[in-house]
Amino acid sequence: MPISPGHRRLRGSVAALVVAALIPLGLSSTSVAAQARTATAATVALVQPLTGPAGEAARTPYMGWSSYSMQVYSPSGGTWINAAQLKAQSDAMHQKLQPYGYKYINIDAGWNDGVDAYGRPKPSTTLFPNGFQEVIDYIHANGQKVGIYSIPGISPALRQANLPVFGHPECRTGDLALQPLQQADYWGFGHRLDMAKPCAQYYLNSIADLYAQWGIDFLKFDSVTPGSGHNDLSLDARAEVAGWSQALTPHGIWFELSWALDINYADYWKQYANGWRIDWDVECYCPGQALTAWPNISRLFPKLADWWRHGGPGGWNDLDSLNVGNGAMDGLTQDERRTAATLWAVSAAPFYVGNDLTQLDQFGLSLLTNTEVIAVNQAGRPAQPVSTATDQQVWYSLNADSSYTVALYNLGGSQSTVTANWSDLGLAGGAQVRDLWAKQDLGSFASGFTATAVPAHGVRLLKVTPQPGSTISVNDDDQRVAYAGTWPRNGGREVTTITDSLAVTTVDTTAGGTAPAAGVRTTEVNNDNPAINYTGTWSRSWSRGLGDYQDDVQYAQTNGDAFSYTFTGTGVDYVTEKHASQGDVDIYVDGVFKQTVSTYQASGRGAQQVAYSISGLANGIHTIRGVKKTGQFMLLDKFNVRTPGGVRTISLNNNDAQITYTGSWGNSTGRGFGDYRDDVQYAEANGDAFSSTFIGTGVDYVTETHASQGEVDIYIDGIFKQTVNASQASGRGAQQVVYSISGLANGTHTIRGVKKSGQFMLVDRIDVRQPSLLTPDTAVFDKKTSAQADAVVQLGRPATDLTSIQRGGTTLVNGTDYTTSGAVVTIKKSNLAAQPIGYSSLAFTFRSDYRNDIHAATANGASLEFTFKGTSITWLTAVAPDQGEADVYVDNVLIQRVNLQNASRGTLQSVFTRSGLSNTDHTLRIVKISGTVLRNDVIRYTTA
């Protein structure tokens, strides 16, 4: 990420800062915002405890103004924030925006100049000739709040000055830096504080106390890491974030972090702060021309798709200044201005303006003062996307009154239609629709709403109110679900959509012979599988029409070029074409030369020919390698891998969310070394680690081997297993299994690898082995009339979890091609008889938990609450061997103790229903009683 030019421009302004500064922020309680809060919270019974220094002030996003956009737009730069200008902005806010809830006047970088005798920042006497206090008092007299700015660390000059800390003369500023010295901020202005020293906390306390004496309400803490261009731990301000949070809390000062915070530490930011910038600056750094530009708005959508669930009462996802108040300077079209205002509103982002408030145009005022849109923002319910796969996107949130806020975005460059389907929102039933920007009721719609002719970069913002008798499904991550205790999301306890295969071998013994015994599973691995490692110069030829498997091959022309494939099993076939243009291939298994095979064919062309086959290997990890020896071409079509039935392998790429990294890790892509999906994760510091929590019976750690790598300590479930060596004296090995374990009890386990030596530690992928969900998972069908028989399969999941059975993309028909009885599926022989001789696969697909996630608690007594207004409620969740009992209360009355234990893992099981409720507010409460874990998935209720 290039250095932000705006941050470079303000280098001189912030260089004088010695530590992070505070920006005070208060929350509006004016009529419009207060009404929005009251309406939204009316049906919420449980008030979630708030974290962060601001306390109750941060229950909703703050509204106000920030100086930074104008500082980089104006030719006067940092001096734009003088006393007269700030008073003018305060007066303009008081007149135009304050009645709608805007209250914060936040003064960005450059407000201070030097330090006092105790090392505390002093306001600039140039900007504030009558004193900074006069400006603070002026803003407060207008009924507003004042914010200021700071960054982490202590300057070299202040460290050398060795000043006493106010109130603690035993502490000196010369002793506060971490040793050896470490960079504290993005620009390298200061040294990192050693927060393990009590004096460092005393120092921050002294500054926070001073700010509170001035009347500061808000602190923007900039250049926070991990984040701010350093998404690793090479710079780490977390300890100072915690220290500032502690210092500010007694004063109730709002604590806002910036910029582009690392989402991997979201829980940490949520614990200590009231807001966090999720991306780089919104400004385009176009002095005198524009404040921002459309790309700086549109890039926020994919960011919010990850961040949305982290915002809520007490701490909010910050999108930076909302620069939509003056078309002459915003840098956006009117449609783009409306889209930006919508995004800030539905994301429950701090709603602060970056324009010159004395120069707002009429359209800008209409955007900033629409009471219905402000109510959406102050409701504090961040919207989530249905999908971000296209430029036409639907984002929504469920409100406490059972209405939905729905934004229909057209991010494309031309006019388009955007449709919201009620089912995608979790709504079954019709709904009334209101356009919030137009303040117009649009009528009733049975199953969805289509907005036609949405302009390029445009939006429609709707309020969708379900009709009585509609059913609403509430996911476990919805803000309306209040958790007490520790309830992490997912962590390997969720179930995503799973496809397991029945490997079918079709033979015909009509002319004699014996059908092979079932129990050996043959899996076909196409030539384009990312787990195949090609060395040399290889190309892919597709749509050949020659009968190849999946109609493609990989080919090389240079002798010495090679393929290799590491597999788990007992045998493998090398399958290719045969043709006069081809020649000999040397075959190696586990590094041992086996034979030279010929792929030459004097006339014609043979497709899907087995050129080499080996069986009877010990069940485990093996590698087949083929090296071109002669001929014009060497081709690879597929491998047939034979494994004992009953186990399936899932490969997690190094960037999979199920793998977590601690320390300073980078991602290397487009390597061209034959890595799985052509990328790896890497670390250089000893002690850096990876871990992955999985459900299964075995796991492999797959990486490169190279002279630059060294030893890695491997732990399973917290127990040290062995030190593995990823070093290789010469050359480079791709997709090498350096650690493998099998025979674990089927359940939840964690593998952890810790760098011990070498320059690098790499992670390419993690292979997880799980018991097959099909018993058996292999079948042999004999086309001989007298030998034909149905294939009977026992499911390892409830039959209700099975969503489809497919062969080659064609869905089998229940009742025609197969039948179900309990957890038994019978594939009819009439369907099997229609298949050609050879190998085929039937893909059994099982559904996921609702929206692919769950929340789970392990401590007995952990609970959740959900308040609703409706006539019935149902709890649908997982059943599993590791679960036990839970007590279910409605309106504080114990209704039922439910047993969630089951021999197999099941999804979306209806475990509790209560109907016939009065048309009033009700509260569902669920308490964990026993078992290893309690999962919560979805709550479904009927509106009154």
Residue 510, domain member (yes or no): no
Whether 800 and 706 map to the same domain: the answer is: no
Looking at residues 518-534, what average pLDDT do you find? Answer: 89
pLDDT digits 0-9 by tens, 701-744: 999 999 999 999 999 999 999 999 999 999 999 999 999 999 99
Whether 614 and 574 map to the same domain: the answer is: yes
3-state secondary structure string, 590-637? CCEEEEEEECCCCCCCEEEEEEEEECCCCCEEEEEEEEECCECEEEEC
Neighbours of 195 (CB within 10 A): 20
Q: Which CATH number belongs to the domain containing residue 895 in this structure?
A: 2.60.120.260
The number of domains in the chain is: 6
Q: Which helix (H) or strand (E) holds 41?
A: helix 31-41
With 90 as the cut, is the pLDDT of residue 513 above it?
no
Whether 818 and 714 map to the same domain: the answer is: no
Q: Which helix (H) or strand (E) holds 341?
A: helix 334-346
Q: In the prediction, which pLDDT does 624 show?
A: 97
Residue 508, domain member (yes or no): no
Q: What residue type is 901 in one-letter code?
A: Q
| Residue 651, both tokens | 């490969």
With 90 as the cut, is the pLDDT of residue 40 above it?
no
Whether 153 and 190 map to the same domain: the answer is: yes
Looking at residues 178-184, what average pLDDT do you find? Answer: 96
Q: In the prediction, which pLDDT does 519 show?
A: 76
Whether 19 and 105 map to the same domain: the answer is: yes
Q: Which CATH number belongs to the domain containing residue 85 in this structure?
A: 3.20.20.70
Q: Which among 331, 365, 381 is the end of a domain?
A: 381
Reference 357, options 127, 149, 30, 70; nearest CA is 70
Whether 324 and 196 map to the same domain: the answer is: yes
Report the alpha-carbon distance of residue 368 to residue 296 in Å, rounded: 19
The structure tokens 């324009």 sit at: 355
Neighbours of 717 (CB within 10 A): 13
Residue 748, domain member (yes or no): yes
DSSP 51-100: -STTGGGGSS--EEEESHHHHHHSTTGGGGS-HHHHHHHHHHHHHHTGGG
Report the alpha-carbon distance of residue 870 to residue 916 in Å, rounded: 9
Residue 53, domain member (yes or no): yes
Residue 472, domain member (yes or no): no
With 60 as the cut, is the pLDDT of residue 447 above it?
yes
Q: What is the DSSP letter of 525?
A: E
Neighbours of 745 (CB within 10 A): 8
Note down the domain range covering 752.
649-771
Report the alpha-carbon distance of residue 483 to residue 476 in Å, rounded: 10
Query: 274 CB contacts (<8 Å, ≥6 apart)?
Result: 25, 52, 53, 54, 58, 254, 255, 256, 314, 315, 316
pLDDT digits 0-9 by tens, 397-424: 999 999 999 999 999 999 999 999 999 9
pLDDT digits 0-9 by tens, 288-327: 999 999 999 999 999 999 999 999 999 999 999 999 999 9
Asked if 901 and 931 count as a contact pair (C-beta separation under 8 A), the reply is: yes
DSSP 404-425: EEEEEEE-SSS-EEEEEEHHHH
With 90 as the cut, is the pLDDT of residue 3 above it?
no
Residue 824, domain member (yes or no): yes
User: For residue 576, what are the CA distances in angstroms to 350, 538, 626, 630?
Assistant: 60, 15, 12, 15
User: For residue 761, what are the CA distances in angstroms to 281, 531, 595, 685, 857?
Assistant: 33, 20, 35, 9, 33
Whether 203 and 350 map to the same domain: the answer is: yes
With 80 as the cut, is the pLDDT of residue 920 above it?
yes
Bond from prior residue into 771 cis (ω within 30 degrees of 0): no
Whether 538 and 595 map to the same domain: the answer is: yes
Tell me the helices (H) and strands (E) count for the chain, helix number first. 18, 66
The structure tokens 């086959």 sit at: 613
Reference 937, options 857, 861, 862, 859; nearest CA is 857
Q: Which CATH number belongs to the domain containing residue 441 in this structure?
A: 2.60.40.1180
pLDDT digits 0-9 by tens, 244-253: 999 999 999 9
With 80 as the cut, is the pLDDT of residue 223 above it?
yes
Residue 658, domain member (yes or no): yes
Residue 643, domain member (yes or no): no
Q: Which among 816, 847, 878 is the end of a domain?
A: 847
Whether 316 and 233 map to the same domain: the answer is: yes
Give percent of the chain above pLDDT 70. Answer: 95
Bridge partners (DSSP) of residue 230 are 227
Banded pLDDT at 794 (limits 50, 70, 90):
very high
Report the alpha-carbon distance of residue 723 to residue 346 in Å, rounded: 50
Q: In the prediction, which pLDDT does 29 show?
A: 29
Report the alpha-carbon distance of residue 469 to residue 943 in Å, rounded: 5
Q: Which among 365, 381, 397 is the end of a domain?
A: 381
Burial class (CB in 10 A: 0-12, 13-18, 19+), 830: exposed
Report the alpha-carbon distance of residue 856 to residue 248 in Å, rounded: 33
Q: In the prediction, which pLDDT does 47 show?
A: 52
Report the alpha-carbon distance of residue 430 to residue 446 in Å, rounded: 4
Query: 924 CB contacts (<8 Å, ≥6 apart)?
Result: 865, 866, 867, 868, 873, 875, 888, 889, 890, 939
Whether 74 and 218 map to the same domain: the answer is: yes
With 60 as the cut, is the pLDDT of residue 10 above it?
no
Looking at residues 180-209, what average pLDDT do you find? Answer: 97
Whether 910 and 816 map to the same domain: the answer is: no
Q: In the prediction, which pLDDT does 7 show?
A: 43
Q: In the prediction, which pLDDT does 35 show?
A: 32
pLDDT digits 0-9 by tens, 43-97: 334 456 788 999 999 999 999 999 999 999 998 888 899 999 999 999 999 999 9
Whether 135 and 163 map to the same domain: the answer is: yes
Highest mean pLDDT among 73-82, 96-105, 678-687, 792-801: 96-105
With 50 as the cut, is the pLDDT of residue 31 above it?
no
| Residue 348, both tokens | 């429950």
Give percent of the chain above pLDDT 90. Answer: 86
| Claim: this prediction has a pTM higher than 0.75 | yes
Q: Is residue 511 classed as helix, strand or coil in its secondary structure?
A: coil
With 90 as the cut, is the pLDDT of residue 529 above it?
yes
Average pLDDT, the chain: 93
Polymer length of the chain: 944
Q: Which of 464-478, 536-550, 640-654 has the lowest mean pLDDT?
A: 640-654
Looking at residues 556-564, what average pLDDT do you find? Answer: 97
pLDDT digits 0-9 by tens, 624-645: 999 999 999 999 999 999 888 7
Asked if 211 and 148 count as a contact pair (C-beta separation under 8 A), the reply is: yes
With 80 as the cut, is the pLDDT of residue 26 above it?
no
